[in-house]
Every structure is written in structure tokens, then in C-alpha cells.
């Protein structure tokens, strides 16, 4: 069912993630290598400079904010990792090309983007994810009570309708031939102004902007229609990962620890301050806080069936079907499985669900 977004809604992080914030030791940074043995530290140093490229500048999204925090809180230093943070422009295809070429070693790509990238001839490896729920959503006015009501109406998008939203509309029985699609800009106000009847967006962005403006909208989420997705997924250059497995593990160890730390309500303000320090004057604290809290909430409401931070093979297989149907690229479940490796994330989280710290 859709969620009715009202201006009075207040997002809060969940008790679950607060309880899981403790990662087994103090969250204060220590000396270089304080969380790694001498031998492991040497292996991580052998990896040299590790370039991380964000998905969209320094937005406080999952797979970005916790990387900033891991850097600023000293977690990379604790594990002898030399990580350089670079901002991405939001061009997923460019990020994938840089990772495949080895110019960037690690960066966020959704599981579906990892599939389409590999299907296009690039070589990138998915190594982690926080949830099988994606961030792509469809917003409508409160008068839309069934997605089939969109037939005969206008849907706005940024150039394309994400595959998860396409799959949701198909699951709802919408005949897309009867829906007019138009490209719109980045102003979500086109929806309440009646310029479109439905608008594609991200659950952590446009709905929050509209709430802030005092507008009521319905948010239709693909996960409510059993459509697979992914949240906060990381990918790596596979050749580099094979050569430096402890560096991949410990990069994830640091960012998982930072995610848990920043997800705890008492640390959100601190972590948003770290994001602001990195992003500069263009960072709006209230908006970025809403983004982070929303994405943490989505992850907590839709936890992985296995270990925290790992990749769910069943979700990968299901996403292969979505990509094949709606992205115009034939991907078999077997192919898709070969583009992911759960071993790196699984190695840094214990059976109790806590991040293993320090490194063994």
C-alpha cells in the first residue's frame, strides 16, 4: 500500500539500528593500524591508494555518508587503508566505466546497475548491499487510490522510468500504452501544481521536499509490490579485489561500522556535520538529515535475509528477471550471480550481526 506523506511526518531512525550501533569496541579512532595486525596492515598498505567515487557528490545517502564518516572518524586509518574520496556526478554509466578501467577501485552502484553494466561489456563486481528495497518510487496526488487510475493521465520522469517502477506498474496491471510519459526537470512541484499526475523520484528526496513545502502526496514503493531492488550497494574493480582481498574486506568493515554508528539517533547530527564539512556551503543540513534518516528507515524496514551488508543471491536472481524484462538487456540468473561476490562482506560481519572489530 502507498504511504501518505504529510508535512507533519517526522522521520526517525529505528530502535533496531540504535541497538546495533555498537560494533564491538570504542568508536573513537586510534593509532594507524590499531584495528589490524601488523601482517594485515602490511597487506592493506600494499593495496596503495584506494580511490572511492561517490554516486552523487556528497549527498547524505547510504553508500556515501558512511564512507565520509569512516574517513573522518579514522576507521580507514585504523585499518591501514589509504582511501581517497572523490565526488561522482550522478552519471552511473561513467562511474561503472571508471571502476571497470581500474581508475576507481570502489564505488556505489545499485545491483541492477551492476547487471546492466556487465551486460554492456564492463567488468564490475558487486560486493555489498544494505537492503533488497530500492529507492526509486512513484509519487501521485492523494486522489489516486489505485495505480490503474493513471491510465489516461500523465507521468513525469527525468528521461526514463526506472526498471523497478516499471515493474511495479506492471504488477499493478497498468497499461502503459494508456499513460502519457513526459520528461520533466528536477522541481517536484510539477506534481502538486497539476502539471503531471505522477512523478518518478527517490523515496529519500522528492517526498521530503514536498512535505517541507506543505504538500500531501502518495508515495508508491516497488517493494510493496514485491519488486526487488537494492539500497547502499557497493561495487569494486574485480581484478583489484582479487589481488587485495583484505583491503576490500576492511574497506567494507570500516564503512559498515560507520553506517551502524551514523544510523544511531544520537550520532546522526554528528555524522551530518561530517557530511557538511565535506560538501561545503551547498549542503542543507535539514534536507540531508531527512535523506539519511529516510534511507536508514528503508533499510531497517526491509532487512536482508542473511548477514548485514551482504548480497542476497535470491534477490540477484529476481533482479535479473526485472532487468531482462524492463532494461532491454537479457540477463540470466546464472550470469547475474557471477557478477557478485558475498565473501568480502560476509567476512566482516559475525553470526551475531555485529561488525567484527578489530580485524582478525
Q: What is the mean predicted confidence (pLDDT) over 134-159? A: 97
Q: What is the pLDDT of residue 198?
A: 98
Q: How many residues does the chain have?
A: 360
Residue closest to 40 by CA, chosen among 73, 71, 81, 70: 81
Say whether pLDDT at 310 is over 60.
yes
Report d(CA 65, CA 253) in Å as an integer.
15
Helices 285-301 & 245-263, crossing angle to 10 degrees?
110
Q: What is the pLDDT of residue 349?
A: 98
Q: What is the mean predicted confidence (pLDDT) over 116-135? A: 97
Average pLDDT, the chain: 92
Domains annotated for the chain, with CATH where assigned, are 14-133+231-346 (3.40.190.10), 136-225 (3.40.190.10)
Q: What is the pLDDT of residue 166?
A: 97
Say whether pLDDT at 26 is over 80.
no
Q: What is the pLDDT of residue 31?
A: 80
Confidence of residue 281 (pLDDT cuts 50, 70, 90): confident
Q: What is the pLDDT of residue 12?
A: 38
Say whether pLDDT at 9 is over 60.
no
Residue for grid cell 559498515: 256
Report d(CA 75, CA 240) in Å as an integer.
21
Q: What is the mean predicted confidence (pLDDT) over 98-127? A: 98
- Encode pLDDT of 55-108 as tens digits: 999 999 999 999 999 999 999 999 999 999 999 999 999 999 999 999 999 999
Say whether pLDDT at 8 is over 60.
no
Q: What is the pLDDT of residue 5?
A: 41
Rounded to 5 degrees, φ, ψ at 199 are: -145, 130
Say whether pLDDT at 14 is over 60.
no
Say whether pLDDT at 179 is over 90.
yes
- Encode pLDDT of 199-208 as tens digits: 999 999 999 9
Report d(CA 96, CA 111) in Å as an integer.
12
Say whether pLDDT at 172 is over 60.
yes
Q: What is the pLDDT of residue 29?
A: 54
The residue that leads in pLDDT, 68 or 22, is 68
Q: What is the mean predicted confidence (pLDDT) over 145-168? A: 97
Strands, sheet with 180-183, edge to edge from the N-terminal-most edge strand: 3-5, 217-220, 136-140, 198-202, 154-157, 180-183
CA distances from 38 to 49, 235, 250, 335, 344 (A): 18, 27, 14, 38, 20
Amino acid at each position: 500500500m502507498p504511504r501518505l506523506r504529510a508535512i507533519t511526518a517526522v522521520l526517525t531512525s529505528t530502535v533496531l539500528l540504535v541497538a546495533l550501533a555498537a560494533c564491538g569496541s570504542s568508536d573513537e579512532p586510534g593509532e594507524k593500524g590499531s584495528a589490524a595486525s601488523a601482517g594485515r596492515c602490511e597487506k592493506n598498505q600494499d593495496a596503495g591508494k584506494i580511490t572511492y567515487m561517490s554516486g552523487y557528490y556528497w549527498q547524505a545517502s547510504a553508500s556515501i555518508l558512511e564512507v565520509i564518516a569512516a574517513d573522518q572518524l579514522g576507521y580507514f586509518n585504523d585499518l591501514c587503508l589509504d582511501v581517497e574520496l572523490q565526488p561522482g556526478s550522478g552519471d552511473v554509466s561513467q562511474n561503472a566505466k571508471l571502476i571497470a578501467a581500474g581508475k576507481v577501485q570502489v564505488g556505489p552502484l545499485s545491483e541492477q546497475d551492476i547487471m546492466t553494466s556487465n551486460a554492456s561489456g564492463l567488468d564490475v563486481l558487486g560486493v555489498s548491499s544494505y537492503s533488497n528495497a530500492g529507492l526509486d518510487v512513484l509519487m501521485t496526488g492523494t486522489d489516486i487510490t489505485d495505480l490503474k487510475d493513471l491510465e489516461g493521465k500523465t507521468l513525469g520522469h527525468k528521461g526514463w522510468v526506472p526498471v523497478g517502477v516499471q515493474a511495479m506498474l506492471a504488477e499493478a496491471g497498468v497499461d502503459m500504452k494508456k499513460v502519457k510519459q513526459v520528461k520533466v526537470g528536477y522541481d517536484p512541484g510539477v506534481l502538486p501544481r497539476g502539471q503531471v499526475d505522477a512523478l518518478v523520484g527517490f523515496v529519500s528526496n522528492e517526498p521530503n521536499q514536498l512535505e517541507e513545502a506543505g504538500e500531501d502526496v502518495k508515495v508508491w514503493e516497488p517493494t510493496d509490490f514485491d519488486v526487488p531492488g537494492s539500497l547502499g550497494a557497493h561495487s569494486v574493480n574485480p581484478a583489484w579485489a582479487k589481488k587485495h582481498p583484505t583491503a576490500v574486506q576492511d574497506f567494507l568493515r570500516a564503512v559498515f561500522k560507520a553506517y551502524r554508528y551514523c544510523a544511531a539517533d544520537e550520532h546522526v547530527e554528528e555524522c551530518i556535520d561530517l557530511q557538511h564539512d565535506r560538501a561545503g556551503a551547498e549542503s542543507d543540513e535539514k534536507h540531508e538529515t531527512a535523506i539519511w534518516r529516510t534511507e536508514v528507515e528503508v533499510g531497517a524496514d526491509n532487512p536482508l535475509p542473511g548477514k548485514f551488508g551482504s548480497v542476497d543471491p535470491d534477490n540477484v536472481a529476481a533482479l535479473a528477471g526485472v532487468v531482462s524484462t524492463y532494461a532491454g538487456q537479457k540477463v540470466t540468473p546464472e550470469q547475474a550471480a557471477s557478477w557478485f561476490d558475498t565473501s568480502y562482506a560476509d567476512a566482516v560481519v559475525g553470526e551475531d550481526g555485529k561488525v567484527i572489530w578489530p580485524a582478525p
